[in-house]
């Protein structure tokens, strides 16, 4: 294993990923990164444990990814965002990292990682690493050392005594009343340390103390080490939680709830912008033209504008949660389903488009490893409408301005699965939530219903490659069951069918590469209050692109005069052939270029 401190610092003036001849294989294959390259790029997210298993142990791995790179090259994506592959006890499937500079044996070796970088770069595909530095694993050597009383790393994490007058380790003795993201208090009493430590996520994910400059430098050194290895950017996990108030106080509670929302107390903290700018300079993020995207629960258009303003040297873009929170209850009851209001969804995306039109940049996504499948959630996954609704959702997303993210299987129209009972779930969030809610007297059927529609495991079922054993994902027993619909919904079938979701997505990606209006055009929403139709224009240098989409399972009619006359327009892509009238079939969408 190599440690970050022994690696070459990558803060050089090079604009490409090529490094000196002693650099690892991934860095040796040059991939151009011109200024602003990510503005017309499309990113594909891989959740490694569910993508492709090369050795029959039931878990996806890096050699499995390498074996399927041609699928991504055919789709035409520019970048892979790789969810964590680092050494980890896997309490949260790798979002709990015990060694930032090595690969977990479940996924392969550092040599496999270098090979993936080289093979991807050879195909012109860049790689983003997942950067999980709000917290580490409790098995990371930093934490192991920190828990020793008197350790020089004591201040690297958030250690606090029990609440005044309380017996440590008893209910209510926690230093604050914050709830963790995955149920229960956000503090854990550590006998050995003789103190509580803060964990906003599971007990095995202690939060790092970014107030300590040594912590920040250790993170930047590790990032430089990955840049020297040839990576092209970072997706930064819950990065807007890194600046915490130095004074930690109780959060407001809702009626009858014992715990309050610690997230509200730590999101977008007072030193966030400063830390991100410091990181940018220390790692050379802008100099190397690396892609940076920050996952930011609780961020607003205003915070995003500040953090993605190039002048502030922060990030290229952020992941907002506003649109994916519209159909669920507030954080404490995120598994309670709220019917989706399409107008609210359209208006929300519009507010981000307009808010980041002049300054900053948007990311665009429906799906990722933390969200249920878009086609089941925003579309219609019945056999009749699955394909058209997946295509139309893709058209809507890709015709917005920003960088689109495609989550593995989204390009196939993969759907939510069916879970027979709690034993079918694997996600720590789902298991903890179930135990907590049922333990507190909730109706088990209602708890399961909430998980069925909103659990993260919906997104994590194995990638459906073909209609053979276990969908071609593994020769063994998959770590999470394959969705039974793999017999019809799979990559082999989709690639063979020119009218498939796969080819529709491929064409959308090609349009972004070919037409500057798709990447850069000014955005305007039409028919904003229409409950079925999503229509918009994009305009650049006298060219206008028009999208008209029926985002419903019922026929719709475009009101007279609501959109431009398309009788002589060029039809770029449509779900139902060349049809130009006012009537739209369920989930029909059309993209035109007008003059």
Active site residues: 237, 295
For ligand GLC, give the closer residue by CB, 367 or 588: 367
For ligand GLC, give the closer residue by CB, 115 or 295: 295
Q: How far is the CB of 328 from ligand GLC (least distance, A)?
A: 15
Q: What's the sign of the alpha-carbon dihedral 278, 187, 160, 89?
A: negative
Q: How far is the CB of 381 from ligand GLC (least distance, A)?
A: 23
Q: How far is the CB of 106 from ligand GLC (least distance, A)?
A: 17
Q: How far is the CB of 416 from ligand GLC (least distance, A)?
A: 17
Q: How far is the CB of 419 from ligand GLC (least distance, A)?
A: 18
Answer yes or no: are the C-beta atoms of 250 and 313 closer than 8 Å. Answer: no
**Closest CB to ligand GLC: residue number:** 95
Q: How far is the CB of 138 from ligand GLC (least distance, A)?
A: 13
List, in order, residues 6 or more apart from 14 with CB less than 8 Å away: 288
Q: How far apart are CA 303 and CA 298, in angstroms?
A: 9
In the range 199-228, which residues lie near ligand GLC by CB under 6 A? 201
β-pairing, 291-295 vs 195-198, is unpaired
Q: How far is CA 37 from the centre of its chain?
A: 20
Q: How far apart are CA 427 and CA 1, in angstroms?
A: 29
User: What angle, 0 to 180 degrees and rounded to 10, lies between the N-to-C axes of helices 213-229 and 272-283?
Assistant: 40
Sequence-ordered strand ranges (E) for 466-542? 522-526, 533-540
Answer yes or no: are the C-beta atoms of 498 and 507 closer than 8 Å. Answer: no
C-beta atoms surrounding 110 within 10 Å: 17
Half-sphere exposure (Cβ direction) of 502: Cα atoms closer than 13 Å:
21
C-beta atoms surrounding 6 within 10 Å: 10
For ligand GLC, give the closer residue by CB, 296 or 388: 296
Q: How far apart are CA 381 and CA 368, in angstroms?
A: 17
Answer yes or no: are the C-beta atoms of 512 and 404 closer than 8 Å. Answer: yes
Of 92, 380, 381, 411, which one interacts with ligand GLC (CB under 6 A)? Answer: 92
For ligand GLC, give the closer residue by CB, 330 or 444: 330
Q: How far is the CB of 326 from ligand GLC (least distance, A)?
A: 18
Q: How far apart are CA 437 and CA 433, in angstroms?
A: 6
For ligand GLC, give the closer residue by CB, 370 or 494: 370
Position 238 contacts ligand GLC (CB under 6 A) = yes
The site map against ligand GLC for 280-309 (x = CB under 6 A) is ---------------x--------------
In order of 194, 271, 363, 588, the CA distances from 320 in angstroms are 38, 19, 8, 27
- Please give the backbone phi and psi of residue 488, each rounded to the nearest 5 degrees, phi first: -105, -30
Q: How far is the CB of 234 from ligand GLC (least distance, A)?
A: 13
β-pairing, 178-179 vs 159-160, is unpaired
For ligand GLC, give the closer residue by CB, 199 or 503: 199
For ligand GLC, give the closer residue by CB, 200 or 545: 200
Quickly tell me which residue has 């995003």 as its tokens: 304
Tokens of 521: 């055009």
Position 91 contacts ligand GLC (CB under 6 A) = no
List, in order, residues 6 or more apart from 340 with CB less than 8 Å away: 326, 327, 377, 378
Q: How far apart are CA 44 and CA 42, in angstroms?
A: 7
Quickly tell me which residue has 């509670």 as its tokens: 253
Q: How far is the CB of 135 from ligand GLC (least distance, A)?
A: 7
For ligand GLC, give the closer residue by CB, 26 or 60: 60
Q: How far is the CB of 272 from ligand GLC (least distance, A)?
A: 16
In the range 142-201, which residues lie near ligand GLC by CB under 6 A? 201
Bridge partners of residue 526, in order along the sequence: 535
Q: How far apart are CA 378 and CA 372, in angstroms?
A: 10
Of 43, 80, 117, 132, which one interacts with ligand GLC (CB under 6 A)? Answer: 132
Q: How far apart are CA 392 and CA 388, in angstroms?
A: 6
In the range 10-49, which residues lie near ligand GLC by CB under 6 A? none
Of 51, 81, 86, 95, which one interacts with ligand GLC (CB under 6 A)? Answer: 95
Of 237, 380, 381, 410, which one interacts with ligand GLC (CB under 6 A)? Answer: 237
The site map against ligand GLC for 340-379 (x = CB under 6 A) is -----------------------------xx---------
For ligand GLC, give the closer residue by CB, 27 or 132: 132
Answer yes or no: are the C-beta atoms of 127 and 82 closer than 8 Å. Answer: yes
Position 75 contacts ligand GLC (CB under 6 A) = no
For ligand GLC, give the closer residue by CB, 66 or 132: 132
Cα three-residue angle 318-321-323, rounded to 5 degrees? 115
Residue ranges in 309-378 assigned as alpha helix (H): 342-355, 374-377
Contacting residues toward ligand GLC, per CB under 6 A: 92, 95, 132, 201, 237-238, 295, 369-370
């Amino acid at each position: 294993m190599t440690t970050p401190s022994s690696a070459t610092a990558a803060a050089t003036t090079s604009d490409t990923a090529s490094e000196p001849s002693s650099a690892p294989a991934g860095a040796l294959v040059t991939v151009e990164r011109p200024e602003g390259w990510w503005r017309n790029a499309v990113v594909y997210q891989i959740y490694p444990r569910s993508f492709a298993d090369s050795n029959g142990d039931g878990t996806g791995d890096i050699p499995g990814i390498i074996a399927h790179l041609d699928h991504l090259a055919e789709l035409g994506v520019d970048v892979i965002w790789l969810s964590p592959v680092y050494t980890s006890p896997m309490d949260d499937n790798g979002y709990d990292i015990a060694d930032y500079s090595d690969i977990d044996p479940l996924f392969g070796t550092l040599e496999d990682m270098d090979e993936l970088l080289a093979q991807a770069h050879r195909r012109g595909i860049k790689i983003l690493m997942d950067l999980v530095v709000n917290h580490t694993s409790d098995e990371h050597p930093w934490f192991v050392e920190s828990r020793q009383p008197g350790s020089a790393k004591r201040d690297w994490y958030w250690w606090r005594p029990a609440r005044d007058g309380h017996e440590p380790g008893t209910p209510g003795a926690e230093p604050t009343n914050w709830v963790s993201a995955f149920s229960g208090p956000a503090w854990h009493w550590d006998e050995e340390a003789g103190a509580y430590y803060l964990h906003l996520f599971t007990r095995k994910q202690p939060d790092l103390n970014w107030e300590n400059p040594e912590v920040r430098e250790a993170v930047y050194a590790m990032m430089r080490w990955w840049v020297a290895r040839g990576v092209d950017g970072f997706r930064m996990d819950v990065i807007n939680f890194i600046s915490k108030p130095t004074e930690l106080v109780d959060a407001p509670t809702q009626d009858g709830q014992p715990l309050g929302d610690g997230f509200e107390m730590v999101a977008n903290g007072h030193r966030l912008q400063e830390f991100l700018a410091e990181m940018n300079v220390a790692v050379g993020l802008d100099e190397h033209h690396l892609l940076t995207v920050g996952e930011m629960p609780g961020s607003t258009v205003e915070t995003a504008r500040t953090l993605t303003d190039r002048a502030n040297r922060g990030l290229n873009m952020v992941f907002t949660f506003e649109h994916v929170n519209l159909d669920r209850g507030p954080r404490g009851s995120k598994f309670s389903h709220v019917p989706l209001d399409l107008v609210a969804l359209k208006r929300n995306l519009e507010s981000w488009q307009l808010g980041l039109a002049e300054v900053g940049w948007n990311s665009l996504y429906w799906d990722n490893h933390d969200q249920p499948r878009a086609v089941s959630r925003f579309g219609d996954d019945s056999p009749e409408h699955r394909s058209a609704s997946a295509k139309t959702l893709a058209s809507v997303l890709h015709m917005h301005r920003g960088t689109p993210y495609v989550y593995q299987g989204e390009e196939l129209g993969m759907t939510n699965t069916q879970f027979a009972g709690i034993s079918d779930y694997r996600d720590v969030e789902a298991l903890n939530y179930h135990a907590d809610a049922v333990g507190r007297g909730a109706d088990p059927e209602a708890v399961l219903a909430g998980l069925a529609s909103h659990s993260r495991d919906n997104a994590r079922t194995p990638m459906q490659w073909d209609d053979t054993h276990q969908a071609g994902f593994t020769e063994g027993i998959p770590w999470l069951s394959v969705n039974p619909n793999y017999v019809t919904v799979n990559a082999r079938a989709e690639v063979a069918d020119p009218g498939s979701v796969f080819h529709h997505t491929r064409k959308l990606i090609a349009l972004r590469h070919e037409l500057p209006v798709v990447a850069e055009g000014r955005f305007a929403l039409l028919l904003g209050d229409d409950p079925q139709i999503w229509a918009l224009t994009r305009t650049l240098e006298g060219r206008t692109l028009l999208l008209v989409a029926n985002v419903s399972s019922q026929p719709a009619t475009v009101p007279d005069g609501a959109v431009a006359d398309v009788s002589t327009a060029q039809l770029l892509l449509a779900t139902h052939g060349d049809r130009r009238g006012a009537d739209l079939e369920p989930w029909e969408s059309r993209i035109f270029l007008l003059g």
